[in-house]
A and B are shown apart, each in its own frame.
Chain A
Amino acid sequence: MSIIDKDLDRFKEIVRGKVRRELRKYMSSREMLGRQGKKTVSIPIPDIQIPRLRYGKNEQGGVGQGEGDEGEPVDGEGQASDKPGEHSLEAEVSLEELARIIGEELELPRIQPRGSRQVDSAKARYTGISLVGPESLRHTRRTYKQALKRQIALGTYDPRRPVIIPIKEDRRYRSWKVAVEPSFAAVIIYMMDVSGSMGQKQKDIVRLETFWIDTWLQHNYRNLETRFIIHDAKAREVDRDTFFRTRESGGTLISTAYGLANQIVQAEYPVTDWNIYFFHFSDGDNWSGSDNNKCVDLLKKHMLPVANMFGYGQVDSHYGSGRFLHVLKENFPDDQRLILSRIPNREAIMDSIREFLGKGR
Chain B
Amino acid sequence: MTVSPSLVHGWTRRRLPSELEDARAEIAEITWNEGLRFCETVFEMCSFDEINMLASYGGFPVRYPHWRFGMEYLRMKTGYEWGLQKIYEMVINTDPAYAYLLDNNTVVDQKLVMAHVYGHVDFFQNNAWFKYTNRKMLDEMANHATRIRRYIDRFGLETVESFIDACLSLENLIDPMRPHMRQDDNGIGEDDHETETTETLKLPSKSYMDRYINPPEYLKEQRQIIEAAQRKKQHFPESPRKDVLLFLLKHAPLNRWQTDVLSIIREEAYYYAPQAQTKIMNEGWACFWHSRTMTGHVLTDADVVDYADHHSGTVAMRPGQLNPYKIGLELFRNIEERWNKGRFGKDWLDCEDAAQRHDWDTGAGLGLEKVFQVRQTHNDITFIDNFLTEDFCRDNGLFAYEYDKRSKQFLIDSRQFAVIKQKLLFMLSNRGEPRIMVTDGNHGNRGELELTHQHEGVDIQVDWASGVLANLSRIWGRPVHLVTALEDTPAVLSHDGDEFKVQRNAGTKSKS
Q: A159 an interface residue at 8 Å Cβ cutoff?
A: no
With CB as the reference atom, state the residue of chain A lying closest to B400: A63
B323, B420, B426: the one within 8 Å of A81 (CB): B323
**What CA separation (Å) do A292 and B401 show in the bound complex?**
46
**What CA separation (Å) do A6 and B466 show in the bound complex?**
30
A53-B70 in contact (CB<8A)? no
Q: A12 an interface residue at 8 Å Cβ cutoff?
A: yes
Chain B nearest Cβ from A143, distance in angstroms: 18
The stretch of A89-97, A217-225, A334-342 in contact with B is A89-97
Chain A nearest Cβ from B310, distance in angstroms: 9
B70-A72 in contact (CB<8A)? no
B321, B410, B413: the one within 8 Å of A70 (CB): B413
Chain B nearest Cβ from A76, distance in angstroms: 4
A50-B415 in contact (CB<8A)? no
A14, A46, A76, A87: the one within 8 Å of B86 (CB): A87
- A-B contacts, 16 of them at CB < 8 A, read A6-B70, A8-B73, A11-B68, A11-B71, A53-B482, A54-B172, A58-B403, A60-B458, A61-B423, A63-B399, A63-B420, A65-B399, A66-B399, A83-B85, A89-B84, A89-B85
Could you give, for residues 466-482 of chain B, a 1 whenever the CB lies within 8 Å of some chain A CB and a 0 otherwise? 11100100000000001
* Chain B residues with CB under 8 A of A91: 82-84
* Chain A residues with CB under 8 A of B322: 62-65, 79-80
Residue numbers of B with Cβ under 8 A of A are: 9-10, 12, 49-50, 53, 56-57, 62, 65-71, 73-75, 78-79, 82-90, 158, 161-162, 165, 168-173, 279, 283, 313-314, 317-324, 396-403, 405, 407, 409-415, 420, 423-424, 426-427, 432-434, 436, 453, 458-461, 463-468, 471, 482
B85, B401, B466: the one within 8 Å of A86 (CB): B85
- A68-B321 contact, Cβ under 8 Å, with A54-B433, A59-B459: no
**What CA separation (Å) do A47 and B79 show in the bound complex?**
14
Q: A69 an interface residue at 8 Å Cβ cutoff?
A: yes
Query: Looking at chain B's contact residues, is the secondary structure mostly helix, strand, loop, or mixed?
Result: mixed
**What CA separation (Å) do A326 and B462 show in the bound complex?**
27
B413-A61 in contact (CB<8A)? yes
B158-A20 in contact (CB<8A)? yes
Q: Which 9 A-B pairs have the closest CB atoms?
A: A51-B467, A7-B70, A11-B70, A8-B70, A75-B320, A58-B403, A61-B402, A91-B82, A51-B464
Most-contacted residue by chain A among B162, B323, B399 (CB, 10 A): B399
With CB as the reference atom, state the residue of chain B lying closest to A149: B12
Q: How large is the interface on A (under 10, 10 to 19, 20 to 34, 35 or more residues)?
A: 35 or more
* Chain B residues with CB under 8 A of A67: 319, 397
Most-contacted residue by chain B among A53, A56, A70 (CB, 10 A): A53
Could you give, for residues 249-276 of chain A, a 1 whenever the CB lies within 8 Å of some chain B CB and a 0 otherwise? 0000000000000000000000000000
B427-A52 in contact (CB<8A)? no
* Chain A residues with CB under 8 A of B321: 64-66, 76-81
Q: A134 an interface residue at 8 Å Cβ cutoff?
A: no
- A55-B458 contact, Cβ under 8 Å, with A7-B65, A8-B73: yes
**What CA separation (Å) do A355 and B134 show in the bound complex?**
47
Q: A23 an interface residue at 8 Å Cβ cutoff?
A: yes
A66-B410 in contact (CB<8A)? no
Q: A180 an interface residue at 8 Å Cβ cutoff?
A: no
B12, B79, B172, B323: the one within 8 Å of A80 (CB): B323
**What CA separation (Å) do A86 and B318 show in the bound complex?**
14
* Chain B residues with CB under 8 A of A238: none
Most-contacted residue by chain B among A6, A14, A20, A51 (CB, 10 A): A51
B320-A14 in contact (CB<8A)? no
- A89-B83 contact, Cβ under 8 Å, with A50-B165, A63-B400: yes
**What CA separation (Å) do A2 and B69 show in the bound complex?**
13
**What CA separation (Å) do A55 and B82 show in the bound complex?**
32
B399-A53 in contact (CB<8A)? no
- A10-B67 contact, Cβ under 8 Å, with A53-B434, A78-B321, A80-B324: yes
A45, A51, A52, A56: the one within 8 Å of B78 (CB): A45
Most-contacted residue by chain B among A8, A45, A60, A65 (CB, 10 A): A65
A88-B9 in contact (CB<8A)? no
**What CA separation (Å) do A6 and B65 show in the bound complex?**
8
Could you give, for residues 283-299 of chain A, a 1 whenever the CB lies within 8 Å of some chain B CB and a 0 otherwise? 00000000000000000
